[in-house]
Structure 1
Amino acid sequence: MTPEQFASELEKKGIDLQENQLQQFATYFKVLVEWNEKMNLTALTSQTDVYLKHFYDSISAAFYVDLSKVDSICDVGAGAGFPSIPLKICYPHLHITIVDSLKKRIGFLNHLASELDLQHVSFYHDRAEIFGRNKLHREKYDIVTARAVARMSVLTELCMPLCKKGGKFVAMKGAQADDEIDKGTRAITLLGGELKETHTFTLPFEQGERSIIVVDKVKETPKKFPRKPGTPNKEPIE
């Protein structure tokens, strides 16, 4: 996917990028490739792959959730900033919080935010299990999202405690999402969620399958969740 195709495909979805936003994506690609030479941020480094499988793929969450009416997003395990930084470029009004367990990635994100001149972005070096118990962040966000971080049963425990009642947990998945949903249903209910909808689609050009799982936060998450670091992965709620 070229930058021109990227802009065209987003326009079809009602997202009309201005010249300064297209320049931000160009800078994002440049900085990502430069930093990837000294630390492992992504296995995808060609312009075609980054624009399609990182930028476009990240923004696909906005095809199914109206971000124009959302104020805050918390992105758990964002790595190189996906999906929240591409979403922030498209929707500059968003207040973005990213939590990631690797300090080097937080260093990259701080540099990236400076290069892109992003406002209202905060990056935290922390484990999601600890972050989710912090009163400053627990049940504070309109949308909590994660992309390819962990299976649904685990991801729900990491993300739902951060989502405010009335907000949404948006999980971005590849193929075979149905199986993950089946195994994650108990965790969703137990942590105060209600599965609203699942959207499955294919990426343009290369036809890779993707799924967007939207969970409404209908009740407060019980205080005992999230459990200690590492426990959700070792003993998932299934």
Structure 2
Amino acid sequence: MPEDLVEYVLVHELVHATQPPGPDHGRAWQTRMDVALPSWRHRKARLAEASKTIWRGTLADVPTSDAGARGALARHRHYLAHRNEPASRYLWSLATGQEHLARETPPPGHRPAVLEMPWDEHTPGYPSPGPGKWRMLRRGACTGCAFEGPDRTSYNDAVEDALDHTHAGWRDLPIVEWPRSSSAARAWRSHLDATHPPGWFDRQGPVRTWCDPIESRHRFGRAPGGGYMVAVRREEEPAPQALQLSLQEDGRR
């Protein structure tokens, strides 16, 4: 905040502390402000405009910077250490449903995770998405190292960034149907073991499954071994040739 606006805030509160009984911002208060800081009205107007974009925290918020924390677990543990402080709202933390990863001993190797942080007009270090607008920023991350992907607004994009780091080649895996019964699940698992790399699911590898557009979010913990179920939207299949010919004939009539 500019120093002259800081000065206005300090004088404003000091005048409150020393003014005689009466309305908080009544004539007596305004008269004392005119004496203490003749330009206070101009500064008040500037503060009202600046407050739309400046961070309005306190000095206690400053130590919560997570500039030294990198990776899924380090970020979330830093968030937990400061979660009772106002600025913790603007710290990266594990996505909903993944918080337990920071409480458990991580398995060896690289495992995918997603970090998230609210993005609004007060998020430090980011341009405002627009007055009154709010979104969630996400990053693909890893529980085994300091990897972090680029900022994303799409959860699925962040998941895929993480998988590109932790499970190279996952995009080339076959796309399978999700089993509809327990008996089908047993055959389904045997099929997965036969069509995926050895030990894939021991390393929380993902499984790619067909989905309807309304269910197109990637799901953490749904794959065998606790990895991601990567939702792939089902593309419209071309009509059989006989049906295409029939439609063409109908169109010529």
TM-score when normalising by structure 2 = 0.23
TM-score when normalising by structure 1 = 0.24
Q: Which has the higher strand share?
A: 1
Q: Which has the higher contact order (CA 8 A, sep 6+)?
A: 1
